[in-house]
Amino acid sequence: MSPERTASGIAAEVRAGRVTALEVLEERLRRIDELDPLLKTFLKVHEEDARGQARAVDIRRSRGERLGRLAGVPVALKDNINVRGWETTCGSKILAGFRAPFDASVVERLRAEDAVLVGKTNLDEFAMGSSTENSAFFRTANPWDRGRVPGGSSGGSAAAVAADLVPAALGSDTGGSVRQPAGFCGAVGLKPTYGLVSRRGLVAFASSLDQIGPLTATVEDAALMLSAIGGHDPKDATSSPRPVADYGAALAGGVRGLKIGLPAEYFAEGMDRETEVLVREAVGCLERQGASVVEVSLPHTRYAISSYYILAPSEASSNLARYDGLRYGAPAAAGATLAESCAATRGAGFGPEVKRRIMLGTFALSEGYHEAYYGAAQKARGLIRRDFEDAFSKVDVLATPTSPGPAFRFDEKSEPMAMYLSDIFTITANLAGIPAVSVPAGLTAAGLPVGLQLLADSFREDLLLRAAAALERERPFARCRP
């Protein structure tokens, strides 16, 4: 991919004065106007607001002011991240017309680095889904095959980056919602360590699992975005005080001497054969560069799906209680009582998947069942975390498929459990709070992207990006666009 198409390349060109931020933006707006009607990645493009931001960057440069690391880079945002004055819908009818009263902390940091915020991307309603089919407004198509899903729930952000509508976007990852769509769309998707990136201004789904992360075309751009948005936020009680590392500096290190673990549980029966072959070939590429590869075991992985689908819906049941038509949510017709009004609002405003997860979570937390379900799931979560701790005492990085197979067709996984299983390899990182990245491993015979997932111990994003960059140098998939 040519430098002028990447976030890092655009920022360098704008800072050097070889191109203006407004010129960069106008070229991307033309591309969005041409292609987004086919893909439907954006819920709303804020053209005039973006032009104002780009002009401000150009004025600052003309005055000789120092520009930020993302100078003039067009960035899209998943529509569960607040931008002051912009509508935040979370892909749900219940939030239609709601305008955010403040910028999310990640938005403040993007602005401080002179990024140009272009618009809001489509998602599964309240980030609950793995295909972006659950949006209340429309479905987003995969740029590689418009009859297939882009993944979810950050499908709009992943498809926008893959189609080169924007060089970078932000998504949120509760159980794989950045990495799985990155794998399906042939992008780089990074879920940071829990607490590395502030969640302030991210509409909550499951507060102990949610993390904001970047989707980009290259590993270098992922490192750049993480450096821009990471770091302590005193307004977020879950934010880590650890200083942010220089992730860009880690990219050139190579993998010689690194120990890479292959968890047996992630190469299970029933996995797509082409996906397994491409992932193993990618791991072999790292081995040829000097990494050593060993088999490891994460035995409690078998509890991951059942634990996740108790814990995440339980937290969602609590978080979504605020949408009552009074504090938040577009009110439906008034009922005779407050309870009736709330029920009418939620019945009309929430879609089927959101209702399903609220009911699951409410049941799991109900009297007489709390310890049997929620308590047991928390214990299983601890065992999963312990498995990772044990593995990382032996290896530096774990390598797995991002998903069991490539992007599936629309309506192919209409049965909920079939859809939930598409996240089987990604949810463990959220349960353990560790970082993980999906990087393109190659294409199937049908021309569909397959992702390699790399996982590391908490706050070792430098190792993930180092290994991902080494693979990208040898297998420069980013040069191949849909």
* Residue 1 structure tokens: 């991919």
* Residue 212 structure tokens: 């904001």
- For β-strands 116-121 and 74-78, DSSP reports them as parallel
Sheet holding 397-401, edge to edge: 42-45, 116-121, 74-78, 168-173, 211-216, 188-191, 436-443, 449-456, 397-401, 259-263, 292-296
What is the C-alpha to C-alpha distance for residues 60 and 56, in angstroms, rounded to an integer? 6
Can you give the pLDDT at residue 479? 64
Q: Is the bond into 198 cis (omega within 30 degrees of 0)? A: no
CATH 2.30.30.40 matches 3-261+394-479: no
Catalytic residues: 78, 153, 177
* Residue 340 structure tokens: 């009736």
Other Cβ atoms less than 10 A from the Cβ of 299: the count is 13
Stated as kind and residue range, the H or E segment containing 111 is: helix 105-112
CA proximity to 470, closest of 250, 259, 180, 294: 250
What is the C-alpha to C-alpha distance for residues 159 and 140, in angstroms, rounded to an integer? 8
* Residue 162 structure tokens: 């893959």
What is the C-alpha to C-alpha distance for residues 138 and 324, in angstroms, rounded to an integer? 24
Domain range list for the chain? 3-261+394-479
Residue with tokens 């239609």: 96
What is the C-alpha to C-alpha distance for residues 230 and 226, in angstroms, rounded to an integer? 6
Strand, coil or helix: 416: helix
Q: What are phi and psi of 332, to 5 degrees?
A: -85, -175
Can you give the pLDDT at residue 478? 58
Can you give the pLDDT at residue 334? 65
What is the C-alpha to C-alpha distance for residues 283 and 298, in angstroms, rounded to an integer? 18
Can you give the pLDDT at residue 326? 82
For the chain, 482 residues long, give each residue's pLDDT as a single digit of tens.
565 689 999 999 999 999 999 999 999 999 999 999 999 999 999 999 999 999 999 999 999 999 999 999 999 999 999 999 999 999 999 998 999 999 999 999 999 999 999 999 999 999 999 999 999 999 999 999 999 999 999 999 999 999 999 999 999 999 999 999 999 999 999 999 999 999 999 999 999 999 999 999 999 999 999 999 999 999 999 999 999 988 999 999 999 999 999 999 999 878 999 999 999 999 999 999 999 999 999 999 999 999 999 999 999 999 999 998 888 877 776 666 888 888 889 999 999 999 999 999 999 999 888 899 999 999 999 999 999 999 999 999 999 999 999 999 999 998 999 999 999 999 999 999 999 999 999 999 999 999 999 999 999 999 999 999 999 999 877 567 78
Can you give the pLDDT at residue 45? 98
